Amino acid sequence: MTQKTPQDHPLIAAIDLGSNSFHMVLARVEQGEIRLLERLGEKVQLAAGLDAEGMLSEDAMQRGLDCLRRFAQLINGLPRGAVRVVGTNALREARNRASFMRPAQQLLGHRVEVISGREEARLIYLGVAHTLADDAGRRLVVDIGGGSTEFIVGERFESLLRESLGMGCVSFAQQFFPGGAISSAAYARAYTAARLELMNIDQAINRLDWQEAVGASGTIRTLGQCLQAAGKGQGEVNRDGIQWLKRKLLKSSHIDQLDLDGLKDERRPILPSGLAIMEASFDALGIESMQHSEGALREGVLYDLLGRQRHEDVRERTLAALIERYHVDREQAERVESKALRLLGKVSDAWGPFEDKQVDMLRWAARVHEVGLDIAHSQYHKHGAYLIEHADLPGFSRQEQQVLALLVWGHRRNLPNRTRLADFSDDSQWILRLCMLLRLAILYHHIRGYQSMPTLKARAGENSLVLEFPAGWLDDNPLTQADFQQEAAYWDKVGYTLTVR
């Protein structure tokens, strides 16, 4: 029986490993549209398990794995590419995140990606935009999460500004309201800390002249429900409502004493911190009223996943912009990409099979391997790797950027050794092999298209590769011969044999 590919499977799913809660949505794709079938969410409070050294506690990781064990049943049997799992601020901060991610991936049967704050912001906006009317005009979207808060200004389905600040309702609860204690002084400190964070972005946001404010995720929903239960609106949050909630809050000395209709027990510990961040956001950004959107990160991941299946991958646009910005020689990049993919096809029986994501990595690395030349020729592979690893690249997870950066770093001089590959654990072998193929394609086109190149035969073994040029060709082209002789020496250092004849 032929296994279904992501493109022809009717179900797709997104899992959001948030700092406060884990969420999953399962949807059916019908005629190019998404129809939600299931929504699951559990309070995990992963961020509450982060200590001062950035280490996740065993208890926090176990809470997360227990939740994912329940999620896993709904996605059992879905092919790779039909499910995307993203981790946010708590996993960004956790130094021991691999200790959680490995068992999580085993439970789910799908890779866990840690995304940057700005990529999280982009996906949040995408989720919000698809659940609101497609009106003209710019909107501000605010998502107060457990460990970070995202601010996005966009128009229709495109985000124009994406920012992520290191303040969240769980981290602020631990910092300013430890043990659930409430006081005016503690609230003032939380508010001031949030205002100081917002000073980094408030002018840039207000220059974009947005017309409406929208809140995503649990904090805005909880505040709106409390106000609605008190007869103060229909679920929106405004300045008067914030002040009313603040007065009610400060009448209590502990979260257990909070007397608010519409407040669920699970949200009680983080209401004071969430309210302080919300008030600071209203004041810093001049917000008068904020509506709630059901769309958030997980819905954005779904729509981004659908776009990839339709070959509308934002990562392609991102790399095209990078290529233009750093004046990459497009013709040379295309030559290298084409040759690298042909070589991949010739070695797949021995070195593969290669997954689609691995083929994509080779294509993308070929396109951008020379981005560092725009900075300096000396050690340009290192400049390029730094740019790719640290730039804001919409659509890419942190792991994807790290792999792409390593391929660019390793496209000349020494190949990545065990030390450099140590952080990639199970992926180290295919990364090294893709790097080798990229290097061969670059050497093959060292003359940059000014010379007609011959057909190349390739035969791979487990740790070896034989390349055959037409008889006598290498003798007539000593530069290419020298290039490949030097390359064989680099391969030998990492335990591979390259034979060229």
CATH number of the domain encompassing residue 112: 3.30.420.40
| Secondary structure in 3-state letters for 239-265 | HHHHHHHHHHHHCCCEHHHCCCCCCCH
Query: How many Å is the maximal CA-CA distance in the chain?
Result: 90
The answer on 284 and 203 residing in a single domain is yes
Q: Is residue 55 part of a domain?
A: yes
| Better-scored residue on pLDDT, 3 or 251 | 251
Q: Average pLDDT, stretch 229-245? A: 96
- Which pLDDT belongs to residue 310? 78
Mean pLDDT, to the nearest integer, of 106-120?
96
Average of per-residue pLDDT values in the chain: 94
Check whether residue 96 and residue 141 sit in a common domain: no
pLDDT given for residue 290 in this prediction: 97
Long-range contacts of 174-181 (CB under 8 A, 24+ apart): 174/48, 176/272, 176/273, 176/276, 177/255, 177/269, 177/272, 177/273, 180/254, 180/255, 180/256, 180/269, 181/253, 181/254
Say whether both 138 and 17 belong to one domain: no
Q: Tell me what pLDDT residue 96 has.
A: 96
Flag whether 490 is in a domain.
no
Are 331 and 428 in a shared domain? Answer: yes
In this prediction, residues 171-195 reach a mean pLDDT of: 97
Retrieve residue 8's tokens.
């022809």
Residue 395 confidence (pLDDT) above 90:
yes
Domain boundary (272, 307, 342) is at: 307
Position 7 scores a pLDDT of 54
On the question of pLDDT at 9 being above 80, the answer is no
Alpha-carbon distances, residue 416 vs 405, 428, 429, 433, 435 (angstroms): 11, 10, 11, 10, 8
User: What's residue 94's pLDDT?
Assistant: 97
Arithmetic mean of pLDDT, 147-168: 95
Q: Looking at residue 76, what DSSP letter applies? A: T
- Give tens-digit pLDDT for 409-435: 999 999 999 899 988 878 999 999 999
Same domain, 99 and 175: no
Beta bridge pairs of residue 26 = 13, 38
Q: What is the pLDDT of residue 2?
A: 41
pTM of the predicted model over 0.75: yes
Q: Is the pLDDT of residue 3 over 50?
A: no
Same domain, 254 and 358: no
Give the chain's end-to-end CA distance (angstroms, integer).
43
CA dihedral for 323, 328, 331, 333, sign (positive or negative): negative
Check residues 380 and 307 and name the one with the higher pLDDT: 380
Percent of the chain past pLDDT 70, that is, above it, reads 98
Residue 1, pLDDT > 50, answer: no
Same-domain status, 370 and 410: yes
Q: What is the pLDDT of residues 448-497, one digit of tens each?
A: 877 889 999 999 999 999 999 999 999 999 999 999 999 999 999 999 99
Write down the residue that tokens 């001062």 correspond to: 52
Q: Which domain holds residue 378?
A: 313-451
Could you tell me if 389 and 426 lie in one domain? Answer: yes
Share of the chain above pLDDT 90, in %: 88
Whether 365 is in a domain gets the answer: yes
249: in domain? yes
What order do you get walking across the sheet with 497-500 strand by strand? 457-461, 464-468, 497-500
Q: Is 232 among the domain residues? A: yes
Torsion from C-alpha of 345, 348, 351, 357, nearest 10 degrees? 80
Residue 239: both structure tokens together: 């300045």
Of the candidates 174, 214, 201, the one whose C-alpha atom is nearest the C-alpha of residue 190 is 174
CA distances from 114 to 73, 85, 90, 92, 457 (A): 22, 9, 10, 6, 40
Tell me: do 105 and 32 sit in the same domain: yes
Q: What is the gyration radius of the CA atoms in the chain, in angstroms?
A: 26
459 phi and psi, to 5 degrees? -140, 120
Tell me the one-letter amino acid at 198. Answer: L
CA distance 441 to 455: 13
Rounded to an integer, the average pLDDT of 243-249 is 97
pLDDT attached to residue 21: 94
Q: Which of 451, 466, 485 is the last residue of a domain?
A: 451
Number of domains in the chain: 3
Q: Are residues 15 and 80 in the same domain?
A: yes
pLDDT (mean) for 366-390: 96
Strand ranges (E), 382-485 = 457-461, 464-468
- The mean pLDDT of 137-166, rounded to a whole number, is 95
Residues 284 and 137 in one domain: yes
pLDDT at 227 over 90: yes
- Report the run of H or E that residue 114 belongs to, with start and end: strand 112-114
Amino acid identity at 115? I
**247 domain-assigned:** yes
Q: What is the pLDDT of residues 315-343, one digit of tens each?
A: 998 999 999 999 999 999 999 999 999 99
Overall residue count recorded for the chain in this entry: 501
Bridge partners of 35, per DSSP, are: 28
* Residue 60 binned pLDDT confidence (cut-offs 50, 70, 90): very high
For the segment 368-386, the average pLDDT, to the nearest whole number, is 96
With respect to residue 497, please indicate whether it lies within any of the assigned structural domains: no
Q: Which of 307, 340, 366 is the last residue of a domain?
A: 307
In a domain, 406, yes or no: yes
